Protein backbone atom coordinates (compact mmCIF):
# COMPACT_ATOMS: atom_id res chain seq x y z
CA UNK A 1 0.00 0.00 0.00
CA UNK A 2 1.09 3.54 -0.52
CA UNK A 3 2.01 5.34 2.63
CA UNK A 4 -0.48 8.02 3.52
CA UNK A 5 0.85 11.34 4.67
CA UNK A 6 -2.20 13.18 5.88
CA UNK A 7 -2.54 16.28 8.01
CA UNK A 8 -5.58 17.31 9.97
CA UNK A 9 -6.66 20.53 11.62
CA UNK A 10 -7.76 20.53 15.24
CA UNK A 11 -11.29 21.81 15.67
CA UNK A 12 -10.81 25.19 17.30
CA UNK A 13 -14.50 25.68 17.96
CA UNK A 14 -14.77 22.85 20.50
CA UNK A 15 -15.33 23.78 24.14
CA UNK A 16 -12.26 23.67 26.37
CA UNK A 17 -13.03 20.33 28.04
CA UNK A 18 -13.39 18.64 24.65
CA UNK A 19 -10.03 19.88 23.50
CA UNK A 20 -8.09 17.93 26.08
CA UNK A 21 -8.04 14.93 23.72
CA UNK A 22 -8.08 15.04 19.91
CA UNK A 23 -9.23 11.45 19.43
CA UNK A 24 -12.73 12.27 18.17
CA UNK A 25 -11.48 14.97 15.79
CA UNK A 26 -8.79 12.63 14.48
CA UNK A 27 -11.27 9.83 13.83
CA UNK A 28 -13.53 12.19 11.92
CA UNK A 29 -10.55 13.34 9.86
CA UNK A 30 -9.49 9.79 9.04
CA UNK A 31 -13.04 8.89 8.08
CA UNK A 32 -13.24 11.84 5.68
CA UNK A 33 -9.82 11.45 4.05
CA UNK A 34 -8.98 7.72 3.85
CA UNK A 35 -11.22 5.66 1.56
CA UNK A 36 -12.60 2.63 3.36
CA UNK A 37 -11.37 3.67 6.80
CA UNK A 38 -14.76 4.07 8.45
CA UNK A 39 -15.99 0.55 7.73
CA UNK A 40 -12.65 -1.03 8.66
CA UNK A 41 -12.45 1.00 11.86
CA UNK A 42 -15.84 -0.29 13.00
CA UNK A 43 -14.87 -3.88 12.18
CA UNK A 44 -11.62 -3.48 14.08
CA UNK A 45 -13.32 -2.00 17.13
CA UNK A 46 -15.90 -4.81 17.12
CA UNK A 47 -13.00 -7.26 17.07
CA UNK A 48 -11.01 -5.84 19.97
CA UNK A 49 -14.09 -5.34 22.15
CA UNK A 50 -15.53 -8.77 21.44
CA UNK A 51 -13.05 -11.11 19.72
CA UNK A 52 -14.56 -14.34 18.48
CA UNK A 53 -11.67 -16.51 19.69
CA UNK A 54 -9.43 -16.31 22.78
CA UNK A 55 -6.18 -14.42 22.34
CA UNK A 56 -3.49 -17.09 22.75
CA UNK A 57 -0.76 -14.92 24.23
CA UNK A 58 -3.02 -13.79 27.08
CA UNK A 59 -5.19 -16.87 27.53
CA UNK A 60 -3.44 -18.35 30.55
CA UNK A 61 -4.41 -20.19 33.70
CA UNK A 62 -3.45 -18.97 37.21
CA UNK A 63 -0.46 -21.34 37.33
CA UNK A 64 1.13 -19.87 34.21
CA UNK A 65 3.50 -16.91 34.53
CA UNK A 66 2.08 -13.55 33.55
CA UNK A 67 3.23 -12.14 30.24
CA UNK A 68 4.40 -8.57 30.71
CA UNK A 69 4.79 -6.89 27.34
CA UNK A 70 7.70 -4.47 26.85
CA UNK A 71 7.13 -1.81 24.19
CA UNK A 72 10.00 0.27 22.77
CA UNK A 73 9.30 4.00 22.61
CA UNK A 74 11.02 6.65 20.49
CA UNK A 75 10.52 10.28 21.49
CA UNK A 76 10.60 12.96 18.78
CA UNK A 77 11.13 16.36 20.44
CA UNK A 78 10.11 19.15 18.05
CA UNK A 79 11.03 22.53 19.50
CA UNK A 80 10.79 26.17 18.37
CA UNK A 81 13.05 27.50 21.13
CA UNK A 82 15.36 26.18 23.83
CA UNK A 83 12.57 26.29 26.44
CA UNK A 84 10.53 23.78 24.43
CA UNK A 85 13.54 21.49 23.96
CA UNK A 86 12.62 19.58 27.08
CA UNK A 87 15.21 17.71 29.11
CA UNK A 88 15.92 14.01 29.21
CA UNK A 89 14.79 14.12 32.84
CA UNK A 90 11.33 15.34 31.84
CA UNK A 91 11.02 12.57 29.25
CA UNK A 92 12.19 9.95 31.75
CA UNK A 93 9.63 11.21 34.27
CA UNK A 94 6.94 10.52 31.67
CA UNK A 95 8.21 6.97 31.18
CA UNK A 96 8.08 6.45 34.93
CA UNK A 97 4.46 7.59 35.06
CA UNK A 98 3.47 5.31 32.18
CA UNK A 99 5.12 2.29 33.75
CA UNK A 100 3.54 2.97 37.14
CA UNK A 101 0.09 3.60 35.68
CA UNK A 102 0.04 0.60 33.35
CA UNK A 103 1.33 -1.77 36.07
CA UNK A 104 -0.97 -0.35 38.80
CA UNK A 105 2.07 0.75 40.77
CA UNK A 106 1.04 4.41 40.98
CA UNK A 107 1.33 5.67 44.56
CA UNK A 108 -2.02 7.52 44.37
CA UNK A 109 -4.16 4.47 43.51
CA UNK A 110 -5.50 3.96 47.05
CA UNK A 111 -5.96 7.65 47.80
CA UNK A 112 -7.66 8.67 44.52
CA UNK A 113 -9.69 5.55 43.71
CA UNK A 114 -12.67 5.04 46.07
CA UNK A 115 -12.76 1.73 47.92
CA UNK A 116 -15.81 0.54 45.97
CA UNK A 117 -13.89 0.76 42.68
CA UNK A 118 -10.51 -0.56 43.83
CA UNK A 119 -11.28 -4.27 43.16
CA UNK A 120 -11.75 -3.31 39.50
CA UNK A 121 -8.26 -1.80 39.23
CA UNK A 122 -6.04 -3.57 36.72
CA UNK A 123 -2.36 -4.20 36.24
CA UNK A 124 -2.40 -3.93 32.43
CA UNK A 125 0.96 -5.75 32.25
CA UNK A 126 2.53 -3.34 29.79
CA UNK A 127 5.96 -1.78 30.30
CA UNK A 128 7.39 1.04 28.18
CA UNK A 129 11.13 1.36 27.55
CA UNK A 130 13.19 4.02 25.81
CA UNK A 131 14.44 2.44 22.57
CA UNK A 132 18.08 1.33 22.60
CA UNK A 133 18.16 0.19 18.95
CA UNK A 134 16.97 2.17 15.92
CA UNK A 135 15.22 0.50 12.94
CA UNK A 136 18.65 -0.29 11.41
CA UNK A 137 19.90 -2.00 14.56
CA UNK A 138 22.17 0.89 15.59
CA UNK A 139 22.48 2.09 19.18
CA UNK A 140 20.20 5.00 20.09
CA UNK A 141 19.17 7.02 23.11
CA UNK A 142 15.54 6.74 22.01
CA UNK A 143 15.25 10.54 21.89
CA UNK A 144 15.40 12.59 18.69
CA UNK A 145 15.62 16.36 18.90
CA UNK A 146 14.81 18.67 16.01
CA UNK A 147 14.40 22.45 15.78
CA UNK A 148 11.32 23.39 13.76
CA UNK A 149 10.24 26.66 12.17
CA UNK A 150 8.34 29.27 14.16
CA UNK A 151 5.42 28.71 11.77
CA UNK A 152 5.39 24.95 12.33
CA UNK A 153 1.91 23.60 13.26
CA UNK A 154 2.47 20.58 15.46
CA UNK A 155 -1.04 19.17 15.21
CA UNK A 156 -0.86 19.12 11.41
CA UNK A 157 2.77 18.31 10.61
CA UNK A 158 4.33 16.39 13.50
CA UNK A 159 4.93 13.24 11.41
CA UNK A 160 5.95 14.97 8.17
CA UNK A 161 9.43 15.86 6.97
CA UNK A 162 8.88 19.32 8.47
CA UNK A 163 8.46 17.59 11.82
CA UNK A 164 10.11 14.19 12.19
CA UNK A 165 9.31 11.03 10.24
CA UNK A 166 8.19 8.04 12.31
CA UNK A 167 10.18 4.94 13.06
CA UNK A 168 8.67 1.59 12.08
CA UNK A 169 5.15 1.50 13.54
CA UNK A 170 5.31 -2.29 13.77
CA UNK A 171 8.24 -2.12 16.19
CA UNK A 172 8.01 1.20 18.06
CA UNK A 173 5.52 3.44 19.78
CA UNK A 174 6.31 6.88 18.33
CA UNK A 175 5.72 9.82 20.69
CA UNK A 176 6.04 13.33 19.24
CA UNK A 177 6.45 16.16 21.76
CA UNK A 178 6.03 19.84 20.88
CA UNK A 179 3.90 22.94 21.32
CA UNK A 180 0.38 22.89 19.89
CA UNK A 181 -0.92 25.93 18.02
CA UNK A 182 -4.18 25.58 19.93
CA UNK A 183 -3.20 26.48 23.52
CA UNK A 184 -6.04 24.38 25.00
CA UNK A 185 -5.06 21.21 23.19
CA UNK A 186 -3.20 18.56 25.23
CA UNK A 187 -2.67 15.53 23.02
CA UNK A 188 -4.02 12.90 20.65
CA UNK A 189 -3.28 9.32 19.68
CA UNK A 190 -4.29 7.07 16.83
CA UNK A 191 -6.54 4.00 17.11
CA UNK A 192 -5.19 0.57 16.10
CA UNK A 193 -7.36 0.58 12.95
CA UNK A 194 -4.92 2.98 11.20
CA UNK A 195 -2.23 0.32 10.90
CA UNK A 196 -3.45 -1.39 7.75
CA UNK A 197 -3.64 2.00 6.01
CA UNK A 198 0.01 2.80 6.80
CA UNK A 199 -0.98 6.09 8.40
CA UNK A 200 2.32 7.75 9.19
CA UNK A 201 1.00 9.68 12.18
CA UNK A 202 0.38 6.48 14.14
CA UNK A 203 1.36 7.02 17.76
CA UNK A 204 1.03 9.84 20.30
CA UNK A 205 1.39 13.59 19.74
CA UNK A 206 1.52 15.56 22.99
CA UNK A 207 2.22 19.09 24.20
CA UNK A 208 5.48 19.56 26.08
CA UNK A 209 3.54 21.29 28.90
CA UNK A 210 1.65 18.04 29.50
CA UNK A 211 4.60 15.65 29.29
CA UNK A 212 5.96 14.13 32.48
CA UNK A 213 6.12 15.70 35.91
CA UNK A 214 8.96 18.21 35.74
CA UNK A 215 10.49 20.84 33.45
CA UNK A 216 7.81 22.55 31.35
CA UNK A 217 4.97 20.36 32.71
CA UNK A 218 2.18 22.70 33.79
CA UNK A 219 -0.57 22.19 36.40
CA UNK A 220 -3.19 20.79 36.50
CA UNK A 221 -1.86 18.45 33.80
CA UNK A 222 1.63 17.97 35.23
CA UNK A 223 1.36 14.39 36.50
CA UNK A 224 1.97 12.68 33.15
CA UNK A 225 -1.61 11.42 32.80
CA UNK A 226 -2.23 12.95 29.36
CA UNK A 227 0.10 10.32 27.88
CA UNK A 228 -1.52 7.60 29.99
CA UNK A 229 -4.94 8.60 28.64
CA UNK A 230 -3.89 8.96 25.00
CA UNK A 231 -1.97 5.69 24.88
CA UNK A 232 -5.19 4.09 26.11
CA UNK A 233 -6.69 5.23 22.79
CA UNK A 234 -3.62 3.83 20.98
CA UNK A 235 -4.57 0.44 22.45
CA UNK A 236 -8.23 0.83 21.47
CA UNK A 237 -9.93 2.34 24.52
CA UNK A 238 -12.75 4.87 24.17
CA UNK A 239 -13.87 7.71 26.40
CA UNK A 240 -16.39 6.54 29.03
CA UNK A 241 -19.10 8.80 27.56
CA UNK A 242 -18.59 7.80 23.91
CA UNK A 243 -19.41 11.21 22.43
CA UNK A 244 -19.84 14.68 23.93
CA UNK A 245 -23.33 15.90 24.83
CA UNK A 246 -25.21 12.70 23.99
CA UNK A 247 -28.36 12.04 25.98
CA UNK A 248 -28.26 8.80 27.95
CA UNK A 249 -30.26 5.91 26.55
CA UNK A 250 -29.28 6.43 22.90
CA UNK A 251 -27.25 3.33 21.91
CA UNK A 252 -26.91 4.61 18.34
CA UNK A 253 -26.03 8.26 17.78
CA UNK A 254 -25.30 7.91 14.09
CA UNK A 255 -23.48 5.49 11.81
CA UNK A 256 -20.08 6.95 12.76
CA UNK A 257 -20.69 7.03 16.52
CA UNK A 258 -22.81 3.97 17.28
CA UNK A 259 -22.44 3.91 21.05
CA UNK A 260 -22.79 6.45 23.84
CA UNK A 261 -20.53 4.55 26.21
CA UNK A 262 -17.10 2.91 25.99
CA UNK A 263 -18.38 -0.67 25.46
CA UNK A 264 -16.61 -1.79 28.66
CA UNK A 265 -18.95 -3.37 31.19
CA UNK A 266 -17.16 -2.31 34.38
CA UNK A 267 -17.06 1.44 33.59
CA UNK A 268 -20.43 3.09 34.41
CA UNK A 269 -22.08 4.91 31.49
CA UNK A 270 -21.93 8.69 31.42
CA UNK A 271 -23.10 11.27 28.88
CA UNK A 272 -20.26 13.78 29.13
CA UNK A 273 -16.71 14.05 30.46
CA UNK A 274 -15.94 15.12 33.98
CA UNK A 275 -13.42 17.90 34.52
CA UNK A 276 -11.48 19.48 37.38
CA UNK A 277 -11.44 17.36 40.53
CA UNK A 278 -14.99 16.24 41.41
CA UNK A 279 -16.07 15.10 44.85
CA UNK A 280 -16.95 11.41 45.12
CA UNK A 281 -19.65 10.32 44.57
CA UNK A 282 -20.88 12.37 41.65
CA UNK A 283 -23.84 11.64 39.39
CA UNK A 284 -23.53 14.88 37.42
CA UNK A 285 -23.06 13.08 34.10
CA UNK A 286 -24.18 9.60 35.15
CA UNK A 287 -26.67 7.78 32.94
CA UNK A 288 -27.96 5.93 36.01
CA UNK A 289 -27.95 7.58 39.43
CA UNK A 290 -26.31 5.33 42.03
CA UNK A 291 -24.78 5.64 45.47
CA UNK A 292 -21.30 5.24 43.94
CA UNK A 293 -21.85 7.62 41.04
CA UNK A 294 -19.56 7.90 38.02
CA UNK A 295 -16.04 6.52 37.67
CA UNK A 296 -14.59 9.96 36.90
CA UNK A 297 -11.20 8.98 38.37
CA UNK A 298 -10.60 6.57 35.47
CA UNK A 299 -7.65 7.42 33.21
CA UNK A 300 -9.94 7.73 30.18
CA UNK A 301 -11.98 10.61 31.63
CA UNK A 302 -11.01 14.33 31.53
CA UNK A 303 -10.39 15.19 35.19
CA UNK A 304 -7.15 16.80 36.37
CA UNK A 305 -4.08 14.58 36.40
CA UNK A 306 -4.05 14.36 40.20
CA UNK A 307 -7.65 13.11 40.22
CA UNK A 308 -7.34 10.10 37.87
CA UNK A 309 -5.61 6.92 38.96
CA UNK A 310 -6.62 3.63 37.29
CA UNK A 311 -7.70 1.42 34.40
CA UNK A 312 -10.30 -1.30 34.98
CA UNK A 313 -10.09 -5.03 34.34
CA UNK A 314 -12.46 -4.59 31.40
CA UNK A 315 -10.23 -1.94 29.86
CA UNK A 316 -7.24 -4.23 30.32
CA UNK A 317 -9.01 -6.93 28.30
CA UNK A 318 -9.55 -4.51 25.42
CA UNK A 319 -5.89 -3.47 25.42
CA UNK A 320 -4.70 -7.07 25.50
CA UNK A 321 -7.03 -7.94 22.62
CA UNK A 322 -5.41 -5.11 20.68
CA UNK A 323 -1.92 -6.40 21.48
CA UNK A 324 -2.91 -9.90 20.38
CA UNK A 325 -4.49 -8.50 17.20
CA UNK A 326 -3.70 -5.32 15.28
CA UNK A 327 -0.68 -4.32 17.40
CA UNK A 328 0.71 -7.85 17.75
CA UNK A 329 4.00 -6.84 16.07
CA UNK A 330 4.94 -4.84 19.18
CA UNK A 331 5.18 -8.10 21.12
CA UNK A 332 8.33 -9.16 19.29
CA UNK A 333 10.11 -5.87 18.78
CA UNK A 334 13.74 -5.87 19.91
CA UNK A 335 13.96 -2.07 20.01
CA UNK A 336 14.88 -2.24 23.69
CA UNK A 337 17.37 -5.07 23.29
CA UNK A 338 17.18 -8.77 22.50
CA UNK A 339 13.70 -9.94 23.45
CA UNK A 340 13.29 -12.87 21.02
CA UNK A 341 10.49 -15.41 21.30
CA UNK A 342 10.86 -19.15 20.87
CA UNK A 343 9.82 -20.60 17.50
CA UNK A 344 6.55 -21.84 19.02
CA UNK A 345 5.79 -18.45 20.58
CA UNK A 346 6.73 -16.69 17.35
CA UNK A 347 4.31 -18.85 15.37
CA UNK A 348 1.60 -18.25 17.96
CA UNK A 349 2.20 -14.50 17.52
CA UNK A 350 0.81 -14.79 13.98
CA UNK A 351 -2.49 -12.96 14.34
CA UNK A 352 -5.70 -13.06 12.30
CA UNK A 353 -8.13 -10.15 12.76
CA UNK A 354 -10.81 -8.86 12.83
CA UNK A 355 -12.90 -11.93 13.40
CA UNK A 356 -15.79 -12.23 12.43
CA UNK A 357 -15.24 -10.31 9.19
CA UNK A 358 -17.52 -8.91 6.51
CA UNK A 359 -15.05 -8.29 3.69
CA UNK A 360 -11.32 -8.08 4.51
CA UNK A 361 -9.18 -9.44 7.32
CA UNK A 362 -5.51 -9.11 8.20
CA UNK A 363 -2.80 -11.68 8.85
CA UNK A 364 0.06 -10.17 10.86
CA UNK A 365 3.31 -12.00 11.49
CA UNK A 366 5.91 -9.82 13.19
CA UNK A 367 8.32 -12.62 14.13
CA UNK A 368 7.90 -15.44 11.58
CA UNK A 369 8.34 -14.97 7.85
CA UNK A 370 5.15 -16.09 6.12
CA UNK A 371 4.48 -16.28 2.40
CA UNK A 372 1.20 -18.12 1.79
CA UNK A 373 -2.21 -18.79 3.29
CA UNK A 374 -4.72 -21.45 2.27
CA UNK A 375 -8.40 -21.01 3.13
CA UNK A 376 -10.65 -24.07 3.49
CA UNK A 377 -14.42 -24.29 3.89
CA UNK A 378 -16.21 -26.34 6.55
CA UNK A 379 -16.05 -29.56 4.50
CA UNK A 380 -12.33 -29.30 3.85
CA UNK A 381 -12.35 -27.88 0.32
CA UNK A 382 -9.72 -25.26 -0.47
CA UNK A 383 -11.52 -22.10 -1.60
CA UNK A 384 -8.72 -19.56 -1.79
CA UNK A 385 -4.93 -19.32 -1.77
CA UNK A 386 -3.04 -16.06 -1.44
CA UNK A 387 0.63 -15.12 -1.39
CA UNK A 388 1.76 -13.07 1.61
CA UNK A 389 4.47 -10.46 1.19
CA UNK A 390 4.37 -8.17 4.22
CA UNK A 391 4.23 -8.15 8.01
CA UNK A 392 0.58 -7.09 7.74
CA UNK A 393 -1.30 -8.76 4.87
CA UNK A 394 -4.82 -7.85 3.73
CA UNK A 395 -6.98 -10.81 2.67
CA UNK A 396 -10.25 -10.19 0.81
CA UNK A 397 -12.97 -12.86 1.19
CA UNK A 398 -15.90 -10.76 0.02
CA UNK A 399 -16.75 -13.40 -2.60
CA UNK A 400 -17.08 -16.21 -0.05
CA UNK A 401 -20.43 -17.21 1.46
CA UNK A 402 -21.13 -16.61 5.13
CA UNK A 403 -19.78 -19.30 7.40
CA UNK A 404 -16.67 -20.66 9.12
CA UNK A 405 -13.40 -21.05 7.21
CA UNK A 406 -10.10 -22.59 8.26
CA UNK A 407 -6.67 -21.16 7.52
CA UNK A 408 -3.30 -22.83 7.04
CA UNK A 409 -0.34 -20.44 7.05
CA UNK A 410 3.02 -21.35 5.50
CA UNK A 411 6.61 -20.16 5.13
CA UNK A 412 8.55 -21.57 2.17
CA UNK A 413 6.33 -24.62 2.13
CA UNK A 414 6.61 -25.23 5.88
CA UNK A 415 3.34 -25.22 7.80
CA UNK A 416 3.43 -22.74 10.70
CA UNK A 417 -0.05 -22.27 12.09
CA UNK A 418 -3.73 -23.02 11.60
CA UNK A 419 -6.55 -20.64 12.50
CA UNK A 420 -10.17 -19.99 11.64
CA UNK A 421 -12.13 -17.01 10.38
CA UNK A 422 -15.88 -16.44 10.45
CA UNK A 423 -17.38 -14.69 7.41
CA UNK A 424 -20.48 -12.67 8.32
Q: Give the containing element (helix H, strand E) for 46.
A: helix 37-49
Beta strand pairing call for 173-178 and 69-79: parallel
- Nearest Cα neighbor of 410 from 382, 387, 392, 391 is 387
Residue 230 known to be catalytic: yes
User: Are 325 and 366 a contacting pair, CB within 8 Å?
Assistant: no
Rounded Cα–Cα distance for residues 307 and 74 (Å): 28
Residues 6+ apart with CB under 8 A from 323: 57, 58, 69, 126, 235, 330, 331
The neighbour count for residue 107, using CB atoms within 10 Å, is 9
- Nearest Cα neighbor of 363 from 309, 299, 407 is 407
Of 230, 255, 374, 399, catalytic: 230
Rounded Cα–Cα distance for residues 339 and 125 (Å): 16
Rounded Cα–Cα distance for residues 371 and 368 (Å): 10
Rounded Cα–Cα distance for residues 6 and 411 (Å): 34
Residues 6+ apart with CB under 8 A from 23: 188, 189, 191, 230, 233, 239
Rounded Cα–Cα distance for residues 219 and 338 (Å): 38
- Distance between start and end Cα atoms, the chain: 25
Catalytic residue ranges: 230
Amino acid sequence: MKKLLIAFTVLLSLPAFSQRCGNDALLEHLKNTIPGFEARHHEMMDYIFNPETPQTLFNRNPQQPHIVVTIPVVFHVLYKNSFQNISDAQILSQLTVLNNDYRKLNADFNTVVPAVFRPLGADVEIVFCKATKDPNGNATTGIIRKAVASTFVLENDYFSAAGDLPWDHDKYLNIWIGRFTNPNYLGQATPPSVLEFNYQGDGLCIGDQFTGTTGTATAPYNKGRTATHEIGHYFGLLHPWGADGVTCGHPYINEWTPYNDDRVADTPETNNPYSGCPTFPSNLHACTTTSTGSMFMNYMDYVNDACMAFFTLGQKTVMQNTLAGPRVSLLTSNGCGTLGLSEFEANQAISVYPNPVAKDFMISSPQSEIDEVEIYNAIGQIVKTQKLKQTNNLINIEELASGTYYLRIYSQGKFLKSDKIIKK
